[in-house]
Amino acid sequence: GTAQIGVTGLAVMGRNLARNFARNGYTVAVHNRSWAKTASLVEDHGDEGTFVPSESVEDFVASLERPRKIVVMVKAGAATDAVIDELVPLLEEGDIVVDAGNAHFPDTVRRENALRAQGLHFVGSGVSGGEEGALLGPSIMPGGTRESYESLGPILEKISAKVDGVPCCTYVGPDGAGHFVKMVHNGIEYADMQLIAEAYDLLKQGLGASAAEIGQIFADWNTGDLESFLIEITADVLQHVDAETGSAFVDIVLDQAEQKGTGRWTVQNGLDLGVPITGIAEATFARALSGGVPQREAAVGTLPAATTPWEITDRDAFVEDVRLALYASKVVAYSQGFDQIAAASAQFGWDIDRGAMARIWRGGCIIRARFLNRITEAYERDANLPLLLADPYFTGAVGNGVEAWRRIVSGAALHGVPTPAFSSSLAYYDGVRAERLPAALIQAQRDFFGAHTYRRTDREGTFHTLWSGDRTEQPA
Ligand code: NBP
C-alpha cells in the first residue's frame, strides 16, 4: 500500500480529519462501514488532496504503507470495539490503531492491553475542537506507547492547531492517559460554561441588562485576561436575534441544558480519586437541575425567596466585580482539573506533564484561552507544583479579585441568584487556604461512633478514645 495514514469512520468528524490529513499533503486511505459516506467524501473533496477509498476493510488495510497508521473515528463504545475487532486480524506487528473518538479512558486501557498483547500499538487519542477543529486543526491528546508516537506524532502535530507556531499536540502518556486528559478537558469545559452562564445571570439580574448589552460586556472582557473561545462565542450568542420573534435568541431557548456524559465521567473519576473538582461537579449538577422539570415545576412560585431587589448604584464597578469573580472561579476550576490529572497520573503511573497539557489546549479546542499560557508557565516554574492557585502569578491574579468575589457571591445569596459554581469555587478557595478546618470535628465524630481513630496535633501516633467507657485515650 501507499497511503501514509488511514481513517475509518467518515461521519462529520472522520470526514473532516481525513480532509485535514489530505490538505496537509498526506495520502489518506479512507473507509466507512457503509460506502455512501466514502463516496461522497471523495466526490465532494477529492480535489483537496490524495484519497485512496476502499469499500472493504481488507482493501483499506492493504492500501496502507507499513507500519500502518489507522485512525478510527466511529461512535464511541460498542462501535469502536466492533471496528477494532474487524481490523486486528488484518494487521501486522508494529501497526498503529488510533482511536480518536470520545472513548471513556478505562475502555482505552482495556483496548491498549489487548492490542499490545498482539504486538500492535493502540493509541487512545483525545481530539477536541468539534467539526471545525477536525478540519482546520484540532487539539490532539494522544496516549499509548512512546514508540508509536515517534512515527505517528509528527503527522498528528502537522494537522493540529498551532499557537505561535507550536503544535497543539504532544505525547500525553501510556494507555488511557490521552483519553483521560480529554475527559478532564471536557469537565473543565463544563465548569467554564457554567461560570460564564452564572456571570451572564448576575449581569442580567443585577443590572437588568438586555442580552445584547451583556453580549457587549463579554465582547469587552474578551480583550483582557478572560480572552477565550468560550467568552468570544458567548458575546456572539448573546447578540444574536431570533429571526422569527425578533427577541434575543438566548431568551427563546428552553432553559434545560443537556449533556452527553463526559462531565459525568469526570465527576465520577474525581470521586474515585478523592480529588475535589467542585467546579466541574457543580457545573454537571447545574445541568441536571435545569433538566429536573418535575422538581422545578414543584418549586417555582412555591418556595419563598425572602430576597430584596438588587440595587446597584455603580454599574461599572459591578461589572468589574463580576469579571474578577469569574476569573477567580475559573482559575479554581482549572486548578482542580490539573489536580485531577496529577492524581490520575500518580495512580496509573502516566507521568503526565501538566504544563504541556495547558500548552496543547491553547488552540484548536473548546477551552482555548489566553490564560493557558500562564498555566504552562506556572508548571515550567515548578513541574511538581502542588496547587496551581499557589503559583505566584495565580496567587496574585486571584488575590486581586478576592474582595470582588466575596461581594458577588454574598450579593447573589442575598438576592437569590443561583451561583453554584461561583459559590463553591470561593468555598474551595477558603477551604484550601484555611489554617484549621472543621474536619477535626468530623474525625472526632468518626472515632465516637465507629472507632475510626484520630491523630493529634501535638504528638505522633494514632489514637482512640473509649467514648462509651471512661473516655480515656488509648493508642490505636
Ligand atoms: P458518530 O459518533 O455519529 O458515529 C458515526 C460513525 O460511526 C459512522 O461512520 C458510522 O458508520 C460508524 N459506525 C457506527 Br454508528 N457503528 C459502527 C459499527 N458497528 N461498525 C463500524 N462503524 C460504525 O460520528 P461523529 O459525530 O463523526 O463522531 C465520531 C467520534 O468523534 C465519536 O466518538 C464522537 O464522540 C467523537 N466526537 C468528537 C467531537 C469533538 O469535538 N472532538 C465532536 C463530535 C464527536 P455508518 O456511516 O456506516 O453508519
pLDDT at 399: 96
Axis-axis angle for helices 177-207, 315-348 (nearest 10): 160
The H or E element that residue 404 is part of is helix 402-415
Q: How far is the CA of 82 from the centre of ligand 1 (A)?
A: 12
Q: Ligand 1 pocket: which residues have CB below 6 Å?
A: 9-14, 32-34, 37, 73-76, 79, 82-83, 101-102, 127-130
In the three-class reduction of DSSP (H, G, I as helix; E, B as strand; rest coil), residue 211 is classed as: helix
pLDDT at 119: 97
124, 103 contact by CB (below 8 A):
yes
pTM of the model: 0.97
> In the block, which residue shows the cell 496502507?
64
The count of other CB atoms within 10 Å of the CB of residue 271 is 12
pLDDT at 261: 87
435 is catalytic: no
373, 313 contact by CB (below 8 A):
no
Q: How far is the CA of 77 from the centre of ligand 1 (A)?
A: 10
71, 153 contact by CB (below 8 A):
no
Give the residue whose CA is nearest to atom 4 of ligand 1.
75
pLDDT by residue, tens only, the chain of 476 residues: 899 999 999 999 999 999 999 999 999 999 999 999 999 999 999 999 999 999 999 999 999 999 999 999 999 999 999 999 999 999 999 999 999 999 999 999 999 999 999 999 999 999 999 999 999 999 999 999 999 999 999 999 999 999 999 999 999 999 999 999 999 999 999 999 999 999 999 999 999 999 999 999 999 999 999 999 999 999 999 999 999 999 999 999 999 999 888 999 999 999 999 999 999 999 999 999 999 999 999 999 999 999 988 999 999 999 999 999 999 999 999 999 999 999 999 999 999 999 999 999 999 999 999 899 999 999 999 999 999 999 999 999 999 999 999 999 999 999 999 999 999 999 999 999 999 999 999 999 999 999 999 999 999 999 999 999 999 999 99
Pocket test for ligand 1, best of 7, 12, 13 (most atoms within 8 A of CB): 13
Sign of CA dihedral 4, 103, 385, 378: positive
* Cell reading at 348: 496509573
Pocket test for ligand 1, best of 7, 15, 74 (most atoms within 8 A of CB): 74
Q: How far is the CA of 192 from the centre of ligand 1 (A)?
A: 26
Residue 364 CA, chain-centre distance (Å), reads: 13
96, 70 contact by CB (below 8 A):
yes
Whether the complex's predicted ipTM surpasses the cut of 0.90: yes
Question: Which residues sit opposite 99 in a β-bridge?
Answer: 72, 124
pLDDT at 62: 98
In the three-class reduction of DSSP (H, G, I as helix; E, B as strand; rest coil), residue 422 is classed as: helix
pLDDT at 439: 98
158 is catalytic: no
Alpha helices in 307-399 (DSSP H): 315-348, 354-360, 372-381, 392-399
* Cell reading at 336: 482542580
Q: Percent helix, strand, coil in the chain (nearest 5)?
A: 55, 10, 30
Q: Which of the residues 69, 182, 204, 330 is marked catalytic?
A: 182
Q: How many CA atoms lie within 13 A of 256 on its CB side?
A: 8
Q: Which of the residues 37, 112, 157, 189 is marked catalytic?
A: 189
pLDDT at 1: 85
Q: How far apart are the first and last CA of the chain?
A: 69
The H or E element that residue 6 is part of is strand 5-8
